[in-house]
Structure 1
Amino acid sequence: MPPLDHDRCYSIVKNADRRFDGWFVTAVRTTGIYCRPSCPAITPKQTNVEFHHTAAAAQQRGFRACKRCRPDASPGSP
């Protein structure tokens, strides 16, 4: 899989664009949580996030699923 474009993904998250749910997840280093692009939580700082193609990939890196947007219930979940 090609790497995700950090700036483009962050722009999608900033706009909470539901069209990209299931395409990638946003993992927040400072909280240890990963979310869907459309999560209603406060948008994290760009320097604190990394993007993964799947929920399983985020979990392998030690992140847990957000309890608000439930990204582990979308395609690519473990």
Structure 2
Amino acid sequence: MDKRITQTERRPKNNSKMLGFIFTLTGGLVFYFFGFPPLKYGYESKSWPKTQGTITQSEISSWIKDSNSQYDAQINYS
């Protein structure tokens, strides 16, 4: 019997490293564009000016524009 492997009987190459690299790269890009900006804005808010006061009135308005919910906050303090 001939034990040689023909081209059609060869096992496919293991591409798990390449697939892992692609998933890691994709995950990193998703984090960079969707996860990093909120973290950056949160960190930047630490430098906002601080003030003492008491909230005397607050109201939130909402409406729909172009199939998206829009919100507006009116806050009065003294």
**In proportion to residue count, which structure has more helix?**
2
Shared fold per TM-score greater than 0.5:
no
Q: Which has the larger radius of gyration?
A: 2
- The higher relative CO (CA closer than 8 Å, separation ≥ 6) is in 1
**In proportion to residue count, which structure has more strand?**
2
